[in-house]
Amino acid sequence: MKKSIFTLLLAAGIFTVSCGDRKTNSENEIQLEEREGPVVEGKDMIPADDSDSAQNKAEIVSAKQVVNKYFSALDRGDFTEAYEQMSRSSDRGTSSEFAEENAGIETITVSFTQDATVNTNTNGTEIELPLRYTVKTKNENTETYSGSAIVLKASGEDSDYQILKMNVTREDS
């Protein structure tokens, strides 16, 4: 009985509040009021009127996916897939050199450390992604590197991001 009364009172309260401030025009259509004051944007919100910012965020997400795909392939030992994430104009060398250079990786983890930098020009979009990664080698050594990945997408509809350069230095252990 108490639950029923409580539910009824709750419903009546909601009905009263939702209808009490409602403004309608002569045809009984609800009129919405504009809010006064600034809208506070959350950390992950994209401003509706800043298309450059929204476009940059979308580009950063795409670039991070390529870098994650690269490190995930290295972690799995799929050197061909990791090699394909590197741009032809990078210093990746041949696929066999790349595989030999990375053969000692047992596991690898990566994290993005700061905000990315986006530079767009007539040649395409270049994004610098600050990162830090840790490699556990097959010899049970642990090596940590920090720096950034430079990811490039040439101008053109069919272009995809590829890693142009890894500017990293080994941290002291």
Q: What are 65-85's pLDDT values in tens digits? A: 999 999 999 999 999 999 999
The amino acid present at 42, given as its one-letter code, is G
Q: Are the CB atoms for 105 and 132 separated by under 8 Å?
A: no
Prediction pTM value: 0.68
Residue 110 lies in a domain: yes
| Cα(65)–Cα(119) distance, integer angstroms | 18
107-116 burial, b at 16+ Cβ within 10 Å, e below that, comes to ebebebeeeb
In this prediction, residues 40-47 reach a mean pLDDT of 42
Domain contains 24: no
| Rounded (5°) CA angle 83-89-91 | 60
Q: Note whether residue 4 is domain-resident.
A: no
Domain count across the chain: 1
Q: Is residue 84 part of a domain?
A: yes
The CATH number of the domain holding residue 104 is 3.10.450.50
Q: What element of type H or E holds 69?
A: helix 51-76
Kindly state whether residue 92 falls inside one of the protein's structural domains. yes
Query: Domain span at residue 77?
Result: 53-170
Which tens digits make up the pLDDT trace of 135-169? 999 999 999 999 999 999 988 777 899 999 999 99
Q: Which of 112, 86, 89, 110 is nearest to 99 (CA)?
A: 86
19: in domain: no
**CA–CA separation, 123 and 160 (whole Å):** 13
Instruction: Tell whether 76 is covered by a domain.
Output: yes
Which pLDDT score is estimated for 45? 42
In the chain, % of residues over pLDDT 70? 69
> Given this model, what pLDDT does residue 87 score?
93
Q: Is residue 44 part of a domain?
A: no
Residue 133: other Cβ atoms inside 10 A: 19
Residue 64: name the closest of 138, 11, 117, 6 by CA: 117
